[in-house]
Structure 1
C-alpha cells in the first residue's frame, strides 16, 4: 500500500501534464481549452485523493505524517469523490463554462483550505514531512495553473 500511495504523488503531476497537452492540442478556443483542462484536472486530483482516503488511507496518512483516523478519512474521501464525480458529470454532459468554472473553484477552495491546514500542522506540530510541506505549494500551483484559463473562458 505504501508504494501505491507514493505512486499517487506521481500520477497527479503526470496526469496534469497530459491534460494540459490534450487541452492545448485539441482546444480550439479558450472555452474548449478550459472545458478539457478544468474538469479533467478536478477528476485527477479529487479522484486520486478519494482513492487514497477510501482505499489506502493508513498508508496515505503515514506518508503525510498524520495519525490514521479512518472515520475522518472516509468522510473526507467521500467529499472529494463527490467533487470529482460532479466534475465528470459537468464534463461528459457538457454543462458549459460556468459549470466547468464552478467545479474548478470548489476544488481550488478545498485544496487551498487543505494547504493552509497542512502548513499549520507543519508549524504547530512540526510535521516537516515533504509530502505535508508540498500540499500548500500544490494548492498555489493549481491556482496559478487553472485560474488564468478559467478567466479567459469566462470572458469569451
Structure 2
C-alpha cells in the first residue's frame, strides 16, 4: 500500500508523547530516565519505546503539533523515527472555535484531503468528532489520550485495531 492511500495518523506531542503526569518516570517497574542533554527537561518524558510501536502502525505518521518542524529535530530522534510530514499550524491563541471545536480540527480535515485518518491528541472533544463526521468524507478516529499518562498499551491497541479494520 502506498503512502497516498495509507491512512494518516496525526500526532500531537504535548500530552500523548510528553505526558504531564507520573509516567515520565518510566513505565511501571521501570526506572526513571536521565533527562537528555537537550536543554528542554520535558524531553525526558518521551518514552523511546513508543517510537517502534508508532512505526509499526499501518499508516503514514504526521506531526500535528505546535512543535511543528521542531518535532522532527527534538522528538523524532528520541523515538527513533525518521522525519515526518508536518501540518503547518498557523499562529493561534488556544481558544476553541465556536461550538467548542478545537482549532486544529479544520486544519487536519483539510490536510487529510479525503484520506482516512486517526488523530491522537489530549484535547479532542465530542464537538470535534461531530464536526469531522459532517465535514470529512472518509473514516476518521479521533482518539483522546489522557495527558497525565500519555500513550498507553490500550491506546496503541485501539489505534492498531482501527487502522487494521479499514
Q: Where is the helix percentage greater, Structure 1 or Structure 2?
A: 1
- Whether the TM-score (by the shorter chain) exceeds 0.5 is no
TM-score, length basis structure 1: 0.28
TM-score, length basis structure 2: 0.27
Q: Where is the strand percentage greater, Structure 1 or Structure 2?
A: 2
Q: Which has the higher contact order (CA 8 A, sep 6+)?
A: 2
